[in-house]
Amino acid sequence: MTLSNKNQNDIISSDIINSYDIEYVFNDKPISRIITKPTVENKSKLLENLKEKIINIENCEFKNNATQMVFGDGNTDSPIMIVGEGPGQKEDELGKPFVGDAGQLLNKMFNAINLKREKIYITNVVNYRPPNNRKPEPAEINRYSEFLREHISIINPKILILMGSTAMEALFGSKIKISKERGNWKDLIINNKTYLTMITFHPAYLLRQADQKKYSWADLKEIRKKIDELNLKL
């Protein structure tokens, strides 16, 4: 980056700054005057590195039985990130998360609060289809949660939505119950950064338990309210 005269900072010489190969942003707050700016190229490089790590996972029953990795879908710069459980049959075939029946419902749920799927970023806890769509075991959830944390740090969303107990367990542990935790805003801390997080029911659960949709609707309205409050650009 080259500084224009107008942007020159009275503390640090622009010559010194321009000699570093780092993107800087200047702001007028009394502290943290200079912050590094995440660039789009950075993000895609980091996502590619993460994909590579997941591809190289060893001794994983999911990977050994799946057709392909299902990494993520949507806008990587979105302020909204959704985490599901893991790919099902259709996702395994197409290589994209939430494209089967649960995905259809997910699209409808977010349309109902005026959020188009393409505007958000979607991933899962596990990136390969579990055989017979079984629920991942705690040790498997734990193993993939390291990748998930990195995924969240790279996407850096303003709002994180965890759909279902597997996503909840991956990030908040297994001692809590989704029926108690859903619907409240929580802070999730990853690498000293706090992510505003909502736990809500998984669409596949709602397909089986239609009477629970009223709770899901309450959570969605809460999410819409927060998007408006934070004035998020979508």
The residues that touch ligand URA, with contacts defined as CB under 6 A, are 84-88, 91, 97-98, 100, 102-103, 124, 204
Rounded distance between C-alpha atoms, residue 107 and residue 192, angstroms: 32
> How do strand 80-84 and strand 72-74 relate by DSSP bridges?
unpaired
Query: Bridge-partner residues for 159, per DSSP?
Result: 80, 196
- Say whether 71 sits in a helix, a strand or coil: coil
Smallest separation (angstroms) from ligand URA to the CB of 231: 30
For ligand URA, the closer of residues 101 and 146 by Cβ is 101
For ligand URA, the closer of residues 79 and 84 by Cβ is 84
For ligand URA, the closer of residues 17 and 171 by Cβ is 171
Smallest separation (angstroms) from ligand URA to the CB of 228: 27
Smallest separation (angstroms) from ligand URA to the CB of 144: 12
For ligand URA, the closer of residues 23 and 101 by Cβ is 101
Smallest separation (angstroms) from ligand URA to the CB of 203: 7
> How do strand 159-163 and strand 193-200 relate by DSSP bridges?
parallel
What length does the chain have? 234
CA separation, residue 194 to residues 152, 156, 180, 188, 189 (Å): 11, 10, 22, 5, 4
Select the residue whose beta carbon is closest to ligand URA and give its number: 84
Rounded distance between C-alpha atoms, residue 135 and residue 141, angstroms: 9
Rounded distance between C-alpha atoms, residue 115 and residue 219, angstroms: 14
Smallest separation (angstroms) from ligand URA to the CB of 84: 3
For ligand URA, the closer of residues 38 and 95 by Cβ is 95
